[in-house]
């Protein structure tokens, strides 16, 4: 399998006469594997590969391995592990490749990481934050399986604890509603206490088209990854944290803090980033934060 994946990348590179390839994982969520001691080093992981150990080597890991072995930058837009296991982080460093993930932040969690800091800044105590997500595309069908949605749900609730500094009651549901198709609809209820413990509420309803929200982030990140490769950056691209629910090695989950990191990088590099896309967050960065 690994060799097939590597050959496909080589063929693609050759056919389009490319200097560098960025591999992006956009598959549906996998069941959460049991990541443990045998993922801890590259040689352990390669041992698993040689054993063809399907329970411990998930498709996202196999694809990430193939990408890094072929010298590709790598982006993981899904909640699956991809390159985010110690053995593959080691491989990326050894291959001197930039990479990042996990789990693109396009809807409910985007709004959550935007709104939650407001409650912290005003010292409004969030008692409960309940979220209901509905969608009807293939992703929704896969997430209807409790095994497959576990990783995503953890990413969705963990951000609150991080931003608020405590754990409010928080259930997140993902329901498969076929008629909605690609139109992710989410309703969140935030029940919070103010001065003298008076309870209040904020509710929001998000109606967004998942693919349309994801596509420009993927395009931008491919450019960011290619740029990082040219700058000889190696390992996790922490400055891309704002695009992910579970950004590798980044602690602060506030959208704003993460977005400033994206701006700061550009200052450090001392030359304005040239991505051409009009839908790019980088452009925004310029005008607003630099």
Interface positions with a copy of itself (CB under 8 A): 110-111, 114-115, 117-118, 120-123, 127-128, 130, 132, 134, 165, 169, 171, 173, 175, 177-180, 185, 187, 189, 191, 194-196, 198-209, 212-213, 215-216, 242, 254-256, 259, 278-281, 283-284, 287-288
Considering the complex, what minimum distance in angstroms separates the CB of residue 199 from a copy of itself?
Answer: 7
Q: Which is nearer to a copy of itself, 71 or 275 (CB)?
A: 275
Q: What angle do CA 205, 210, 216 make, to 5 degrees?
A: 120
Cis amide leading into 102 (omega within 30): yes
3-state secondary structure of 25: strand
- Pick the closer one to a copy of itself by CB: 83 or 281: 281
- The DSSP code for 12 is H
Instruction: Rank residues 49 and 120 by Cβ distance to a copy of itself and give the closer one.
Output: 120
Please identify, using beta-carbon distances, which residue of 86 and 275 lies nearer to a copy of itself: 275
3-state SS assignment for residue 228: helix
Least distance (Å) between residue 187 CB and a copy of itself:
5
Q: Tokens for 7, please give them.
A: 């050959």
Beginning with the edge strand found earlier in the chain, give each strand of the sheet holding 235-236 in spatial order: 22-25, 73-76, 98-101, 235-236
Cβ 289 to a copy of itself shortest distance, Å: 8
Residue count of the chain: 290
The CA distance from 23 to 9, in Å, is 9
CB of 227 to a copy of itself, least distance (A): 18
Closest contact distance (angstroms) between CB of 185 and a copy of itself is 6
């Amino acid at each position: 399998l690994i060799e097939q994946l590597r050959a496909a990348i080589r063929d693609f590179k050759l056919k389009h006469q490319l200097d560098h390839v960025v591999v992006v994982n956009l598959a549906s969520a996998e069941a959460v594997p049991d990541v443990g001691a045998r993922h801890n080093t590259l040689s352990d992981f390669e041992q698993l590969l040689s054993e063809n150990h399907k329970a411990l080597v998930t498709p996202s890991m196999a694809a990430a391995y193939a990408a890094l072995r072929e010298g590709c930058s790598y982006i993981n837009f899904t909640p699956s592990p991809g390159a985010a296991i110690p053995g593959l982080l080691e491989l990326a460093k050894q291959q001197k490749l930039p990479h990042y993930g996990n789990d693109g932040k396009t809807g409910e969690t985007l709004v959550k990481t935007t709104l939650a800091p407001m409650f912290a800044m005003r010292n409004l105590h969030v008692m409960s934050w309940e979220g209901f997500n509905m969608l009807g595309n293939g992703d929704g069908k896969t997430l209807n399986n409790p095994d497959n949605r576990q990783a995503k749900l953890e990413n969705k609730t963990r951000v609150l604890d991080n931003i608020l500094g405590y754990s409010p009651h928080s259930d997140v549901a993902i329901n498969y509603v076929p008629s909605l198709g690609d139109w992710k609809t989410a309703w969140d209820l935030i029940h919070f206490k103010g001065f003298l413990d008076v309870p209040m509420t904020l509710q929001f309803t998000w109606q967004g088209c998942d693919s349309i929200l994801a596509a420009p982030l993927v395009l931008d990140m491919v450019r960011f990854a290619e740029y990082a490769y040219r700058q000889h950056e190696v390992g996790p691209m922490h400055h891309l944290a704002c695009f992910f629910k579970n950004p590798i090695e980044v602690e602060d989950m506030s959208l704003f803090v993460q977005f400033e990191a994206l701006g700061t990088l550009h200052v450090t590099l001392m030359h304005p980033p040239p991505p051409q896309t009009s839908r790019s967050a980088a452009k925004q960065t310029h005008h607003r934060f630099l």
